[in-house]
Chains A and B, each alone.
Chain A
Amino acid sequence: MTGTKLISLERGQLWLMRVHAAGAALVILAAAAIGETVLADRFELPRGILLLPLLLPVLYFVLLAPGRRYRAWGYGMAEDELEVRRGVWTQIHTVVPLERIQHIDVAQGPLERAFGVCRLILHTAGTLHSQVLVPGLSRADAERMRDEIRGRIREEPA
Chain B
Amino acid sequence: MSEEALAYRRLHPGSVVLRFLKEAPSTVLALPAGLAFVSQSGLWRALYWAALLGLVLLLINLLSWWRFRYGVGAGEIVIESGVLSRNRRSIPFGRIQDVDLERSFLARLFGLAKVRIETGAGGKDEGLLDSVSMAEAQRLRDAVRAARSENLLAPTEEAATPATPLLFAMDLPRVLLFGLFNFSLVYLAGLFAFLQAFENFLPFDIYDPARWMGLAEEYLPARFSAAAIAAILVLAILLGIVAGVLRTLSRDYGFSLRLEGERFRRERGLLTRSEVVIARRRIQLAQLTTGPVRRAFGWSGLSFQTLGAGTDRSGHQSAAPFATRSEVEAVLREAGPLRLPPPPELEPVSKRHIVRALGTSLFPALTAILLLSIWARPALMLLALLPLLGVWAALERRFHRFALDGDLLLVARGVWRQRLWIVPLKNVQAISLSRGFLQRRLGLASVALDTAGAPLLNVPRVIDLREAAAEALAAEIALRRLLHSGRKSGTER
Contact = CB atoms under 8 A, between A and B. Distances in A.
Interface of A: 1-2, 80-81, 87, 89-97, 99-100, 124-129, 132, 155-156
30 contacts: A1-B474, A1-B478, A81-B478, A89-B436, A89-B437, A90-B434, A92-B433, A92-B434, A92-B435, A94-B430, A94-B431, A95-B430, A95-B474, A97-B429, A97-B482, A99-B485, A100-B428, A100-B430, A124-B429, A126-B454, A127-B451, A127-B455, A127-B456, A128-B430, A128-B432, A128-B450, A129-B429, A129-B432, A155-B493, A156-B489
Q: Which of B430, B432, B455, B474 has its CB near the most chain A CB atoms (within 10 A)?
A: B430
B450 A129 contact: yes
B434 A93 contact: yes
A128 B454 contact: yes
Nearest to B476: A1
A124 B428 contact: no
A133 to B, nearest CB: 12
Given A90-B434, A90-B436, A92-B435, 19 more contacts: A1-B431, A1-B475, A80-B482, A90-B437, A91-B434, A91-B440, A92-B434, A97-B430, A97-B482, A99-B485, A125-B452, A126-B429, A126-B451, A126-B452, A127-B450, A127-B451, A128-B456, A128-B459, A129-B432
Nearest to A79: B482
A125 B451 CA distance: 7
A1 B434 contact: no
Interface string B455-493: 110010000000000010011001001100100010011
B453 to A, nearest CB: 7
B307 interface: yes
A100 B429 contact: yes
Nearest to B472: A1
Q: Which 3 A-B pairs have the closest CB atoms?
A: A126-B429, A126-B450, A125-B452
Nearest to B454: A127
B463 to A, nearest CB: 13
A158 to B, nearest CB: 9
A125 B485 CA distance: 16
A54 B398 CA distance: 44
B448 interface: yes
Contacts of B459: 127-128
Contact of A2 (B432, B436, B437, B478): B478
Given A1-B478, A126-B452, A95 B489 contact: no
A105 B472 CA distance: 31
Contact of B434 (A87, A124, A132): A87
A82 to B, nearest CB: 9
Nearest to A100: B429
Contacts of A126: 429-430, 450-452, 454
A1 B474 CA distance: 7
B454 A95 contact: no
Interface string B417-450: 0000000000011111111110010000000101
A95 B480 CA distance: 14
A59 to B, nearest CB: 21
Contacts of A94: 430-433
The interface residues of chain A, by DSSP majority, are classed as: mixed
Contact of A124 (B440, B450, B456): B450
A9 B181 CA distance: 53
A129 B450 CA distance: 7
A67 to B, nearest CB: 18
A92 B432 contact: yes
Contacts of A156: 489, 492
Interface string B376-402: 000000000000000000000000000
Contacts of A100: 428-430
Contacts of A96: 429-430
Interface string B177-197: 000000000000000000000
A37 B430 CA distance: 50
Nearest to A91: B435
A87 B436 CA distance: 9
Nearest to B450: A126
A140 B58 CA distance: 62
B442 to A, nearest CB: 14
A61 B99 CA distance: 54
Contacts of B456: 127-128
Contact of A1 (B433, B482, B485, B492): B433
Contacts of B475: 1-2
Contact of B433 (A93, A125, A132): A93
Contacts of B440: 91
Nearest to A125: B452
Nearest to B440: A91
A141 to B, nearest CB: 21
B230 to A, nearest CB: 45
Contacts of A155: 493
A136 B437 CA distance: 25
A97 B484 CA distance: 13
B285 to A, nearest CB: 12
Contacts of B431: 1, 94-95
B427 to A, nearest CB: 9
A129 to B, nearest CB: 4
B192 to A, nearest CB: 34
A94 B492 CA distance: 28
Contacts of A132: 430
Nearest to B434: A92
A127 B452 CA distance: 6
